[in-house]
Chain A
Amino acid sequence: DAKTTQPNSMESNEEEPVHLPCNHSTISGTDYIHWYRQLPSQGPEYVIHGLTSNVNNRMASLAIAEDRKSSTLILHRATLRDAAVYYCIHDTEHRDDKIIFGKGTRLHILP
């Protein structure tokens, strides 16, 4: 199964950058790395995804290690609305593999 490892929780001050790490040591060469976040009382929502190069969008940046066994989601300037559970997952080319979201990282933003 496609599993990832993330810290259970992290804390950051408002308006400061946040770096959320993720290990995905079993990733295959063609698997994309995806990040989702879940706000209270909602289903998870897509944040960003990438393959090898670093990626930027309006929500965040994704930095992928050269060996692709880890990645970091970067929120450049955290706001109180960014308080959520962040999930890191990767695609799998094996159709029998389950897509495992795990428990994610609960991000607390301090005003």
Chain B
Amino acid sequence: KAGVTQTPRYLIKTRGQQVTLSCSPISGHRSVSWYQQTPGQGLQFLFEYFSETQRNKGNFPGRFSGRQFSNSRSEMNVSTLELGDSALYLCASSLAGQGGRLYGYTFGSGTRLTVV
């Protein structure tokens, strides 16, 4: 079966611009979570969506936002990009609600964002 698909794989943006990243979960998965990973850092939680509702949010500024559509696909948006936003952005989808929130938790390959 198809895995978690993130697009685009690579992106270069200029400071001050905004960017939208996309995540298509595994078919049937209703929960999508987003993480930011910078060199030397672990996975830092951004937010989690379940059935189009934001269920949880990490400690990131309001420039980071997201949403989930009725087909469970999710997008995250970063406005007014800063150099420090350069990172690998990962999304993970899971069945959730069946055997625990980590049940079937599967990551995509990520979008590498470079801000110049």
Whether, in the assembled complex, B64 has its beta carbon less than 8 Å from a beta carbon of chain A, the answer is no
Assess whether B48 is in contact with A99, with CB atoms less than 8 Å apart.
yes
Known: A43-B90, A44-B43, A87-B43. A99 touches B107 (CB 8 A): no
Known: A31-B100, A101-B42, A101-B45. A95 touches B55 (CB 8 A): yes
Interface range, B side: 20 to 34
Cα A49 to Cα B105 with chains together (Å): 11
Assess whether B45 is in contact with A100, with CB atoms less than 8 Å apart.
yes
Chain A: how many interface residues by the 8 Å CB criterion?
Answer: 28
A-B pair number, CB within 8 angstroms: 62
Cα A104 to Cα B48 with chains together (Å): 21
Assess whether A96 is in contact with B56, with CB atoms less than 8 Å apart.
yes
Give chain A residues whose Cβ lies under 8 Å from the Cβ of B110. Answer: 42-43
Whether, in the assembled complex, B74 has its beta carbon less than 8 Å from a beta carbon of chain A, the answer is no
Cα A43 to Cα B9 with chains together (Å): 12
Assess whether B109 is in contact with A43, with CB atoms less than 8 Å apart.
yes
B80 to chain A, nearest CB (A): 25
Q: Kindly identify which residue among B33, B42, B109 contacts A103, using a CB–CB cutoff of 8 Å.
A: B42
Whether, in the assembled complex, B41 has its beta carbon less than 8 Å from a beta carbon of chain A, the answer is yes
Assess whether B42 is in contact with A99, with CB atoms less than 8 Å apart.
no
Give chain B residues whose Cβ lies under 8 Å from the Cβ of A93. Answer: 100
Q: Kindly identify which residue among B35, B58, B107 contacts A45, using a CB–CB cutoff of 8 Å.
A: B107
Give chain B residues whose Cβ lies under 8 Å from the Cβ of A104. Answer: 42
Cα A103 to Cα B56 with chains together (Å): 20
Assess whether B102 is in contact with A34, with CB atoms less than 8 Å apart.
yes
Interface residues of A in 44-60 (CB under 8 A from B): 44-46, 49
Give chain A residues whose Cβ lies under 8 Å from the Cβ of B48. Answer: 98-99
Please list the residues of chain A having a beta carbon within 8 angstroms of any beta carbon in chain B: 30-32, 34, 36, 42-46, 49, 85, 87, 89-93, 95-104
Closest CB pairs A-B (n = 9): A43-B107, A103-B42, A101-B43, A91-B100, A91-B102, A102-B42, A44-B107, A34-B102, A98-B45
